[in-house]
Amino acid sequence: MNSHLTADDSQKLTAWGSTAPSAPTPGAPIGVFDSGVGGLTVARAIMDQLPHEKVIYVGDTANGPYGPLPIAQVRANALRIMDDLVDSGVKALVIACNTASAAVLRDARERYTRKYGIPVVEVIQPAVRRAVAATRNGKIGVLGTAATISSRAYEDSFAAAPHLTVRSEACPEFVDFVERGVTTGPELLETVERHLVPVQDAGADTVILGCTHYPLLTGVISYVLGHGVTLVTSSEETAKDLFRALTNEGLLRTDGAAPEHEFVATGDPEAFQQIAQRFLGPAVTGVRHTRSIAESFPTASLAVVTPEQQMQASVTLPAEQRVHSAADPSPSRSNPDPHGDPDTPRGTSWN
């Protein structure tokens, strides 16, 4: 059973004075997010392994892709989404993005698991475990975004296995190809060949696709690397980690009814749905645009702010944000901590 929260904990207040969410319940949905469509590879694995669980998937296409962004900006974007997903009443969070996992995992577990008992599952450690088990010669390649590679999150995760040699390569163009729905063609092939040279020269027999977009390019990457190289993705292993977390906390859904999944995009919903359906099929329907996930699924209250509180908080904001806050009385969060305390809910800025 979930042991993180007590009856008294459910009455705790947020920084705004609103009631903090009570302990998560088995019937609540799972929140999954990524900067775009790549995280759907993780969502697909979750739907396959946990067919009775409802998924709320958020593609932060208004702010993504995250790969080229500074880590601090990725962290801010990810925390805003997770705050809103917790507001929506999810029972677990899945960071289906390597860049966001590298930027925010520690903060997320402090912010949501420790305080509210909501499990947070990410995609880096599952891939590392699988690669360690798969390699035959001890040489592993990692392909990722610029932000993920520069964070050295994978190297840190492999630190417990010093006998392994790891060669990382940033492949910033890969995400753009996937987001445009391009998975074949001479331009893509030339780009993949160019980026894989260092990994091939290092003699890697196992390569981690260190971005949830990259499995959608498995065909061309496998073609370039050849049959002797094992490709590792985090999707299946992440879903297994989620299964374990829900089981350990007594949060597996027991209702046998087929769930209706929700798909939300912070950018153009039609463009998101068109690309997403190519990879996830008809399961992706009715994608909606939203500026705040909590406005679409208002079932909980991590930090619901009244218009009066919002107006008061706007005094500390820059002029352009004060205008927006005063003109929009809908429930959202503004950051009352100018120093960016990770325990303080932040304001949404989605359009």
pLDDT tens-digit map of 84-96? 899 888 999 999 9
Determine contact, residues 124/9, Cβ cutoff 8 Å: no
**Per-residue pLDDT tens over the stretch 95-112:** 999 999 999 998 999 999
Does residue 97 carry a catalytic annotation? yes
Residue identified by tokens 């492999």 is 158
Does 246 or 179 have the greater pLDDT score?
246
DSSP character at residue 112: I
Catalytic annotation, pick one of 93, 97, 251, 276: 97
pLDDT of residue 110: 92
pLDDT of residue 257: 81
**Could you tell me the two tokens for 235?**
């999707």
Does 276 or 4 have the greater pLDDT score?
276
Hey, how many other C-beta atoms are within 10 angstroms of the C-beta on 255?
A: 11
Whole-number Cα distances in Å, 111 to 16, 107, 119, 133, 305: 15, 6, 11, 32, 19
**Could you tell me the two tokens for 176?**
């753009």
Does 1 or 274 have the greater pLDDT score?
274
Catalytic annotation, pick one of 47, 79, 204, 211: 211
pLDDT band at residue 177 under the 50/70/90 scheme: very high
Question: Residue 129: is its pLDDT beyond 90?
Answer: yes
pLDDT of residue 277: 81
Does residue 211 carry a catalytic annotation? yes
Give the mean model confidence (pLDDT) for residues 169-174.
94
**Residue from 48, 100, 2, 21 nearest 261 by CA:** 48
Please state, rounded to an integer, the average pLDDT across all residues of the chain: 79
pLDDT band at residue 350 under the 50/70/90 scheme: very low
What span, in angstroms and rounded, lies between the C-alpha atoms of 260 and 269? Answer: 18
- pTM across the whole model: 0.74
Least confident of 45-49, 188-192, 343-347: 343-347
227: left (phi over 0), alpha (psi -120 to 50) or beta: alpha
Hey, how many other C-beta atoms are within 10 angstroms of the C-beta on 128?
A: 26
**Could you tell me the two tokens for 272?**
């998101």
pLDDT of residue 6: 42
Handedness of CA 310, 314, 316, 317 (dihedral sign): positive
**Per-residue pLDDT tens over the stretch 207-246:** 999 998 899 899 999 999 999 999 999 898 899 999 999 9
> What is the longest distance spanned by two Cα atoms in the chain?
63
**Residue from 302, 341, 325, 300 nearest 16 by CA:** 302
